[in-house]
Structure 1
């Protein structure tokens, strides 16, 4: 009854257009008052929910991603991707998927990635004869896949709420993202044959080398992240500082097109976003307390008990639930409200924590781009000047490819665990 009242308060506040983070906070406080709990729980929960060194990586990665996007690194990556796969039929469509993988390494924000890819790739896709529905689908599906490529803010947050290694989670995301990328590229190949999408460019080693040199500056970042984590050189927080420092040097010494005033603005925006994330974690801890005292984890354990003999089915069911949360509440609220409740059940079932978190990360990425309410999808449709009703039929094959990739990640845990195990981060 208590949670029903809290949920109703939350829904009403959302309907009145209150930001999600404040709606969570107000409904959480209301839950404490209605339940007659000591209000000291509010302060202690908020402090404990926001205390973690790994969260210091968020402003560094956000600043670095914003600065690199401002420098125009997305253009260099697009040119390189087109040189790599543009010679295949439907090569421009495939290059969207490839550049989404590359750009996720340096961006860290899904909305910034949609904006960069939409503004950079929508015009050439239109000129090449791609329908707007397919252009928007390619950008949306590619960005959904990119949720698994570090440095993603969601990965840092989910590592915090499940008390797992952010470094292991970062390493674990590379191969699953590549798995979904292959599924999407196979789909693009067959759609290119069906709809006669053109070849983007002729094979040219000279062009690959030329564009590769230009793209080398942003491509240093995934190499640094992967190598540094794999060799145990730095932590996730230290990696954020390294990437931010590299972005600053690249902007000032190589691109030279971003002023100190613009950098200061990016730093300010990074601080505001980080404050919002920390506040979300803090108020969500009150929700977690209310769910705990209301017996939600025990109830969920009983409901999901029939799935204990089929861990893959448990992962699939929880991924679908997380997907719906990701579509309605965006990614981070889904992480801090739902995942802490189901995570202990997964541990009891013997599911590896890193595998569980990778599956949930992929599910949230897909949820952000699910019709009709996924905020990432709505942003991609804005660039294509389409409505959900005009777009959804063309988008369904891409959703199917994303789901097939997710199912492969669920069924084959080694896809997620190979790199963390190789680095000695998990047994």
Structure 2
């Protein structure tokens, strides 16, 4: 009854257009008061929920991602992707998926990625004769896949709430993202045959060399992150500082197209987003307390007990719920409200924590781009000047590819665990 009341308060506040993070806070405080629990729990929850060294990586990665997007690094990556695969039929469509993989690795923010890819790729796709519905689908599906490619802020948050290694989670994300990328590219290949999409460019070693040279500056970032983690040179927090410093030097010494005023504005926006994330984590501690005293973990354990002999089915069910949370509440609220409740159940079933977190990360990423309310999808549709109804039927094959990739990640744990095991990050 208490949690139902809290849920009603939260929904009402959302309908009144209160920001999600504040709606969660007010509803959580109301739950403590209505339930007669000590209000001192609020202060202790706020402190405990926001104290973690790994959270220092968030402002650094957000700042670096916003700065790189402002410098125009996405355009260099687009040209590299087109040079790599543009000579295949439908190659321009495939290059959208490839560049989404590359750019996710340096951006860290899904909304910044949608904005960068939409502005950089929508014009050439339209010029090449791609339907706006397919163009929006390519950008949305590619960005959904990119949730798995570090440095995603969601990964840092889910590592914090499940008390697992952010570094291991970062390293684990590369191969699952690649699996979904190949699923999406298969869909593009089939649709290119059906719709007679043109070849984008002719094979050219000269163009590939020039594109690789221009993309060398942004491509340093993923190699530094992956090599640093595998070799044990840097932690997630240190990686954030390294990437932010590199982005600053690249902007001022190489691109030279970002003024000091713009730099300050980017830093300010990064600080605001970081404050919202940390406050959200702190508020989530109140919900974890309320759910604990209300017996929700025990109730969920009883409900999900029939699935204990089928870990893949448990992961599939929780992934579907995470998709819905990601669609309705965006990514981070899904992590801080849902994941702490189901994570202990997955541990009791013997599911590897890194595998569990990768599955939930992929599911939330897909949820952000699910119709009708996925905020990432709505942003992609804004670039294409479409509404959900006009776009839905065209988007179905791309959604199918995303879910097939997710199912492969669920059923084959080695996809998520091989790389961190080779790096010695997990057993």
Alignment of 1:357-396 (within 5 A): 357-396=357-396
Aligned to 2:409: 409
Question: Unpaired segments of 5 or more residues in structure 2?
Answer: none
Q: Which residue of 2 aligns with 1:354?
A: 354
Q: Determine if the alignment matches structure 1 residue 399 to structure 2 residue 396.
A: no
User: What TM-score results when the alignment is normalised by the length of structure 2?
Assistant: 1.00
Number of corresponding residues: 427
Partner of 1:370: helix, strand, or coil?
coil
* Correspondence for 2:310: 310
Match of residue 213 from structure 2: 213
CA apart distance, 1:259: 1.3
What residue in structure 1 maps to residue 32 of structure 2?
32
Matches within 5 A, 1:23-422: 23-422=23-422
Please state whether the residue corresponding to 2:173 is helix, strand or coil. helix
Shift, 1:327, TM fit: 0.1
2 CA distance for matches of 1:273 and 1:15? Answer: 22
Quote how far apart the aligned CAs of 1:262 are.
Answer: 1.1
DSSP 3-state at the match of 1:94:
helix
* Shift in Å, 1:317: 0.3
Could you tell me which runs of 5 or more consecutive residues in structure 1 were left unpaired when the two chains were aligned: none
Distance 2:26 2:66 in 1: 31
1:214-242 residue CA offsets vs partner (Å, 9 max, x unmatched): 00100000000000000000100000000
Question: Residue deviations 1:61-85, cap 9 Å, x none?
Answer: 0111111111110000000000000
Q: CA deviation at 1:411?
A: 0.7
Distance 1:71 1:30 in 2: 44
Q: What does the per-residue CA deviation read over 1:380-409, in whole Å, with 9 as the maximum and x for residues that have no partner? A: 000000000000000010000000000000
Deviation at residue 17 of structure 1 after TM alignment: 0.5
Q: C-alpha offsets along residues 282-314 of structure 1, whole Å, 9 cap, x if unaligned?
A: 111101110110000000000000100000000
1:90 Cα deviation from its structure 2 partner: 0.2
SS of equivalent to 1:386: coil
Structure 2 Cα separation of the partners of residues 225 and 413 of structure 1: 23
Deviations 1:14-45 (A, max 9, x none): 01010000000000000001100000000001
Kindly state the Cα deviation for residue 260 of structure 1 after the two structures are TM-superposed: 1.5
Structure 1's consecutive aligned runs of 4 or more residues displaced over 6 angstroms after TM superposition are none
How far has the Cα of 1:324 moved from its partner? 0.2
CA distance in 2, matches of 1:46, 1:423: 35
Give distance in 1, aligned partners of 2:164 and 2:260. 37
Give the Cα–Cα distance (whole angstroms) in 1 for the partners of residues 288 and 140 of structure 2: 32
Deviation larger for 258-267 or 16-25: 258-267
Distance in 1, Cα, partners of 2:205 & 2:416: 33
> Offset at 1:264?
1.0
TM-score (structure 1 length as normaliser): 1.00
How far apart, in 2, do the equivalents of 1:280 and 1:335 lie?
A: 10
RMSD: 0.4
Q: CA deviation at 1:117?
A: 0.3
- The 3-state SS of whatever aligns with 1:304 is helix
CA shift, 1:261, in A, is: 1.5
SS of residue in 2 equivalent to 1:30: helix
1:175 Cα offset (Å):
0.3
What CA distance in whole angstroms lies between the structure 2 residues aligned with 1:146 and 1:38? 42
Rounded Cα–Cα distance in structure 1 between residues aligned with 2:156 and 2:19: 22
